Structure 1
């Protein structure tokens, strides 16, 4: 059995690539999807498809349309969502993706450091599993696949 896993969360480091590599090393049958990881591509996609926008607000709005389309398609196909919160950046997209997973009935693995226990307490209560590291989330998936 393969699981489609949507990796929600910040795109400012290589946590997804590390997750992919560790899943591959363990031989886990996972199809890993997520947001566009090339930040420039993510920011530029609206103008690449719709053409030059009149100002930065419309540029961001156009890009978000296509990024939201991508997210919605892959989250709907996902068997499970892993939402990773980090300490460094405001995590609006991660919170939105976690809430979407909950609302759509997708199993959610919430990854959050100890310092975010209080601000994420409501999301944590709705997740199936709450862990502190991506490795623990990978362990949870390995257990499901036993």
Structure 2
């Protein structure tokens, strides 16, 4: 059995690559999907498809349309969603993706530092598992394959 795991959350560090490498090192049958990690492509994709927009608001709007399509398709196909909330960046997309996962009835692993316990308390109560590090999330995924 191969799992599809959607990795929701900020794209400004290498947490996704850490999970990919860790899963590969453990020989876990997991295929990871997620948002476009090339930030420039993510910001430009709407104009690449629909043409130049009159201003930054419309540019963001058309990019969001395409990026939301990608998110919805891969999240619907996912067996599990992992949503990472970090300390450094505003996490609007992560919150939206975690909420979508719950609305789609997808099992959710929430990664958040202890310092975000209070602002994420309601979301944490709806997740199947709350951990503080990507490594802990990987440990939970590995456990699924134990006989």
Query: One fold, TM greater than 0.5?
Result: yes
Q: CA deviation at 1:99?
A: 0.6
1:82 partner SS: strand
State yes or no: 1:113 paired with 2:113.
yes
Query: Following the alignment from structure 1 to structure 2, what is the Cα–Cα distance between the partners of residues 14 and 72?
Result: 23
Query: Following the alignment from structure 2 to structure 1, what is the Cα–Cα distance between the partners of residues 13 and 110?
Result: 18
CA RMSD, Structure 1 to Structure 2 (Å): 0.5
Q: CA deviation at 1:114?
A: 0.5
In the TM superposition, 1:35-54 aligns within 5 A as 35-54=35-54
Q: CA deviation at 1:3?
A: 0.4
Q: Which residue pairs with 1:96 in the alignment? A: 96
Deviations 1:44-101 (A, max 9, x none): 0000000000000000000000000000000000000000000001000000000111
Q: Which residue pairs with 2:19 in the alignment? A: 19
Q: How many residues align?
A: 146
Q: Which residue pairs with 1:83 in the alignment? A: 83
Query: Following the alignment from structure 1 to structure 2, what is the Cα–Cα distance between the partners of residues 145 and 119?
Result: 32
Q: CA deviation at 1:103?
A: 1.1
2:130 partner SS: strand
Query: Following the alignment from structure 1 to structure 2, what is the Cα–Cα distance between the partners of residues 14 and 39?
Result: 13
Gaps of 5+ in 2: none
Q: Which residue pairs with 1:136 in the alignment? A: 136
Q: Which residue pairs with 1:30 in the alignment? A: 30
2:88 partner SS: coil
